[in-house]
Amino acid sequence: MPGVEFEVVRASIPIAQVLELVEFVALSRTGNQLRGSCPLHRSNSNNSRTFSVNLDTNRYQCFKCKAAGGQLELWAAFQGITVYEAAIDLCNRLGIDVTWVRRW
């Protein structure tokens, strides 16, 4: 199985695009920090702010279910797939070429 250049893929896909795919609705915003209901554990509360996203660092964290990571981990957790599969799937969905590891 060929390797994916994860850092190149991460640099190509802002977490904001993944938030759109998971239909995240921010309930509050302070600068580039968003808060709202967690799309992973699907909080039942309409005003929950347990899910926090930093648009500058492309990182997220849920203070309830303890999920945390970057855009690839968010998509992987949301879809129930590996990070490898998430990188390929996101690139395909967003029309970005997958960057593969070059082997000498």
Residue 87, domain CATH: 3.90.580.10
Give the total number of structural domains in the chain. 1
pLDDT of residue 18: 98
The whole-angstrom separation of Cα 21 and Cα 96 is 15
pTM for this predicted structure: 0.90
pLDDT range class, residue 22, cuts 50, 70, 90: very high
pLDDT range class, residue 91, cuts 50, 70, 90: very high
What DSSP character marks residue 63?
A: T
| Residue 24 domain boundaries | 6-94
pLDDT of residue 46: 66
Q: Which residues of 46-78 are buried (b: 16+ CB within 10 A; e: fewer)?
A: eebbbbbbebeebbbebeeeebebbbbbbbbbb
